[in-house]
Amino acid sequence: MKRRTFLLGAAGTAGALVVGWSLLPPRQRLTTAQPLAVREAQAALNGWVKVAADNSVTVVMCKSEMGQGVYTGLAMLLAEELDADWAQVRIEQSPIDKIYNNLASVVDGLPFHPDDDGAVKRVAGWLTAKSMREIGVMMTGGSSSIKDLWLPMREAGASARAMLIGAAAEQWKLPPGECRAEAGKVLHASGKSASFGELAMLASRQPLPGKLSLKDPARFKLLGQPLRRIEAAAKIDGTARFGMDVLPPGLLHASVTMCPTLGGKTMRFDGAAAAKLPGVKKVIAVEGYNGGTGGVAVIADTPFHAMRALKLVSVEWDHGALAGVSSEDIYRHLAQTLDRETGFGYYSQGDVDAALKSAAKTISAEYRAPYLAHAAMEPMNCTVQFKDGAATVWASTQVPDMARSAAAKVLGIAPEKVDVQVQLLGGGFGRRLESDFVAQAAAIAREAGGAPVQTLWSREQDMTHDFYRPACVSRFKAGFDAAGNLTAWHNSSAGQAIVPQVLQRSFGLPGAGPDKTAAEGAFDQPYEWPNARIGHEIVDLPVPVGFWRSVGHSHQAFFKESFIDEAATAAGKDPVAFRAALLARHPRHQRVLKRAAELAGWGQALPPAADGAKRARGVALHQSFGSVVAQVAEVSLAPDKRIRVHRVVCVIDCGFPVNPNLIRQQMESGIVFGLSAALYGEINIVKGQVQQSNYHDFPALRIDACPLIETDIIPSREHPEGVGEPGTPPIAPAVANALFALTGQRLRALPLKLA
């Protein structure tokens, strides 16, 4: 009951506001409040697409491209239904408008088990989607873009196609029903033909179609095809523009140093020596905004002048609330919490206490995972020009309207006075869901007398002032009957919650209640435990925590998939067979697991590595963001005992595979990202200060440690699900389980370190 009470409460964040609203169908996401800007000889046919006389079809892109391939995948949705010529498709970043608010990710954030399709879940999902349309945010994240826009962007394409056909029919004085669109043209059986470009202006004066029909998947020409990335050329010839590549005339540059203690601020500083250096315009203190840390900034004519001068600034810090906080104390505190609490119950089945009591055998274990930095290749940066009461913000951001609000608040102007220009992201991984760096850049630009200022963080500032993947401790107990069948599964974890912190720092709202993202990966999984209780206890700590690719799944998958391997061992059963036996009513998951085992040669002898070292396999199965992924990793140890991962077989069921090439890319990407964390990733905090500062002490996987990756995609006609994150969670447990098979050592902490 407790869970349901909370849920209605959460949905009710909106509850007070939703009276009198009706649920808008996807097509009401068709047109923006303000007409889209168009260039000469170009017409906007709705809020998602413009067609120009030169036959270009410009997809208005409301999501941020951070490597996940969203420009390509989403453009395909629209181009398919429009019957556009793919070669004519261009991408342009959208303005901020409610039709672009992300509904899917918010509904996914509700703490329901995927198998629970009951009335409460439906009502909560409905209320949330409805309210988020009004109060929600434009957001790229949560592996939600295709899921969110599967209907709206196809409907936008279909609507534009109907208007182009309507225009041709009007011109030709023929019934629209006799005309059809194909590869950027409207055609009629009589041989008449007009290009989209010729029809664009007339089409824009057609009424929005009252009724739309979407294609039967059997007629898809683009969807399902492994198209290459639409923006690749610019990323190969160096012309792609990332956040730090914007060059407005008169651009100044700022470099910042923030209090080494997270959340601290500047007490006093001496910038006199710095101010005397060439090129330096100003030395100023900056507050910590949107959950960030206070510091000092130097504004100069070039980036190097700003950086060099910053070294001469001496600062006396107020270290603040985190000065006494260290990660070792936090681990101890989390473990002690689990001595007292079993956490808020996210899932329960049967009577786990009785089942444990009557079990013929029980096992238990404690796992832990550290804080992690995002370490995107493009360090945090933002360019702002504040002039005549209005601002332009050029930012690599996953949340343009939150970035706009953050800048507007700092500058003391209305959000409508801030124009946000979203640039390509040199990696996001969740770090660019935060707006601390945007607000800071606005505060710095405020001091520049109307000139645009690019604020760029050093790698050291970036790594020591992140919003970290929360550390977590998790305890398990499992019970078995005399035949070795699993009868009880008890799991409690403790760690910080992200959502309450985000609500506080982004909206000033007090965050409360259970946070699905803290327990996801532990409770929302397909295994059919006869008796189970899965809980998570939120421990409130001042360490800034944030969304890190796959969020709760990133560590909960490691805990759960490692402990289920322990359970298989305790039961004396094969890890694949043991899992399959717990998935009797989940054929989709079984198929993914068995396919991975088959492709990896599970059960067959594994030849040694090239240097003669013994190899072993490990498996993991995990569901996240709607997709099911199984991975089998093959590992060996180098002569110096370094862990080597040779090959990873990855199988995904993500519903209808919109673009198999992009899905493969994301599996490769998720695996490499997850391997960095599994093998090396650890942020240590001592007295509130992050000890790692650059890629030497927070390493990322390099090419010489990268395994061979083979991805197989299960064919499906189901609704498409996420692919940006689901590749990450299974890799750490797959490797840990392989290491157990190889060495007999069960590694229960990340990063994986053999004794």
Partner 1 sequence: MQILKINGKAVEVHAEPDTPLLWVLRGELQMTGTKFGCGMALCGVCTVHLGGEPVRSCITPISAVGARDITTIEGLQGSAAETLKAAWTAQDVVQCGYCQSGQLMSALALLKKNPDPSDADIDAAMAGNICRCGTYPRIRAAIHQAAGKKIA
376/433 with CB nearer partner 1: 376
CB of 695 to partner 1, least distance (A): 4
16/703 with CB nearer partner 1: 703
CB of 87 to partner 1, least distance (A): 14
Q: Can you tell me whether residue 78 is helix, strand or coil?
A: helix
10/252 with CB nearer partner 1: 252
322/376 with CB nearer partner 1: 376
CB of 609 to partner 1, least distance (A): 13
- The residues that touch partner 1, with contacts defined as CB under 8 A, are 65-69, 228-229, 231-242, 244-245, 247, 253, 278, 302-304, 375-379, 424-429, 456, 458-460, 661, 665, 668-673, 676, 694-696, 700-704, 706, 708-709
Q: Is the dihedral of CA 386, 390, 395, 397 positive or negative?
A: positive
232/754 with CB nearer partner 1: 232
Chain-centroid distance of CA 737 in Å reads: 26
Question: What is the C-alpha to C-alpha distance for residues 551 and 489, in angstroms, rounded to an integer?
Answer: 23
Cβ neighbourhood burial of 622 (10 Å; 0-12, 13-18, 19+): buried
503/706 with CB nearer partner 1: 706
- The answer for residues whose C-beta is within 8 angstroms of residue 715's C-beta and 6 or more apart is 657
Question: What is the C-alpha to C-alpha distance for residues 204 and 36, in angstroms, rounded to an integer?
Answer: 12
171/225 with CB nearer partner 1: 225
CB 326 within 8 A of CB 685: yes
Q: Which of 72, 76, 128 lies closest to 103 in space, CA to CA?
A: 128
Q: Which of 648, 640, 659, 657 lies closest to 727 in space, CA to CA?
A: 648
CB of 427 to partner 1, least distance (A): 5
CB of 456 to partner 1, least distance (A): 7
CB of 418 to partner 1, least distance (A): 24
CB of 351 to partner 1, least distance (A): 44
How many of the other CB atoms lie within 10 Å of CB of 277? 17
Question: What is the C-alpha to C-alpha distance for residues 120 and 8, in angstroms, rounded to an integer?
Answer: 8
CB of 708 to partner 1, least distance (A): 7
CB of 394 to partner 1, least distance (A): 13
Q: Can you tell me whether residue 71 is helix, strand or coil?
A: helix
511/722 with CB nearer partner 1: 722
Q: Can you tell me whether residue 285 is helix, strand or coil?
A: strand
CB of 749 to partner 1, least distance (A): 23
- CA gyration radius, the chain: 27
Cβ neighbourhood burial of 469 (10 Å; 0-12, 13-18, 19+): buried
Tokens standing for residue 737: 């389980």
How many of the other CB atoms lie within 10 Å of CB of 186? 27
CB of 723 to partner 1, least distance (A): 12
Q: Which of 472, 474, 480, 473 lies closest to 363 in space, CA to CA?
A: 480
49/709 with CB nearer partner 1: 709
125/379 with CB nearer partner 1: 379
Question: What is the C-alpha to C-alpha distance for residues 163 and 46, in angstroms, rounded to an integer?
Answer: 10
Amino acid at 581: A
Chain-centroid distance of CA 377 in Å reads: 16
278/603 with CB nearer partner 1: 278
CB of 49 to partner 1, least distance (A): 24
Q: Can you tell me whether residue 92 is helix, strand or coil?
A: strand
- Find the DSSP H helices in 385-534: 400-411, 436-445, 459-464, 498-502, 516-519
146/424 with CB nearer partner 1: 424
